[in-house]
Amino acid sequence: MPFLRLPGALRTVPLFSQLRETDIELLAPLLTEREYPRGHVIRFAHDPCDAFYIVLSGVVKVMLIAEDGREVVLSLVREGDFFGETALLDDEPYAASVVAAEATRLLVLRRDDFRRSIRDVPELSFGLLRAVCARLLEADSRIGGLMLLDVTGRVAHLLLELDARNPNEPLRDLPTHQVIAQMVGSTRETVSRTIGTMIAKEMIESVDGMVRIRSREALESAAGQMLRRRLKTPFATERASPTPRPVP
């Protein structure tokens, strides 16, 4: 990526969104760009934890792979989002594998570079705390859904989470039914039936390969009151908004 475009890309990342222009310019030279084809394993669980990644384009799957080959997708990371933030905090190995779900371009920030720069840009530490808090809330929400909701509720909650990133817009590039099943702890067949039922009940509609929410109230009812409140937290709103807030 040309250096002049980097500041704008960094502004889309919540961790960096509050920084001054001078701080962004200090960080930009520390980032390197990498490209990965679809299906490429970007990192394996238990690899040394040494870098933080920002998605410039494409989608990656953060996942756990069991010894018998079963896969659980913890999250899908898209353009403007990031992963590997634990590398900035400790020296433990990565807990999950990351695979390119499609051709993907990433920016990479090495942990040692981040730790050196945090002395010059103290605001980075507060951005990191905000990002980690947001991830913890997301994890609590996902665990709560797996424990308390049926498959319909879990799928409804996932659709609402995806919609929160771009409210009132069609859900483009919706994950495949297989990936949704891996995210909600079900099977592809059950997810396909569930989505078919949602369409029949006019909760959602599928048009030209995109999904549009028709009855938010019905989805929220299926997702449950506790998880509905989660979608309205300040952290969810901050992460969903692509427009950076003005720097004081």
The pLDDT tens digits of the residues spanning 149-208 come to: 889 999 998 898 888 877 778 887 788 899 999 888 889 999 999 999 999 999 999 888
Give domain status of residue 36, yes or no: yes
**In this predicted structure, what is the pLDDT of residue 62?**
93
Give domain status of residue 92, yes or no: yes
Give domain status of residue 139, yes or no: no
Give domain status of residue 142, yes or no: no
223 in the same domain as 199: yes
Average pLDDT, the chain: 80
| pLDDT at residue 126 tops 80 | no
Helical pair 151-165 and 188-200, crossing angle rounded to 10 deg: 70
Give domain status of residue 140, yes or no: no
Total number of domains in the chain: 2
Give domain status of residue 200, yes or no: yes
Q: What's the rounded mean pLDDT across residues 206-232?
A: 75
Q: For residue 160, what are the domain limits?
A: 149-240
Q: Using an 8 Å Cβ cutoff, are 48 and 93 in contact?
A: yes
The CATH number of the domain holding residue 201 is 1.10.10.10
Lowest mean pLDDT among 1-15, 39-53, 54-68, 212-226: 1-15
Give domain status of residue 166, yes or no: yes
Indicate the pTM of the whole model: 0.69
Closest CA to 194 of 172, 212, 219, 216: 219
| pLDDT at residue 91 tops 60 | yes
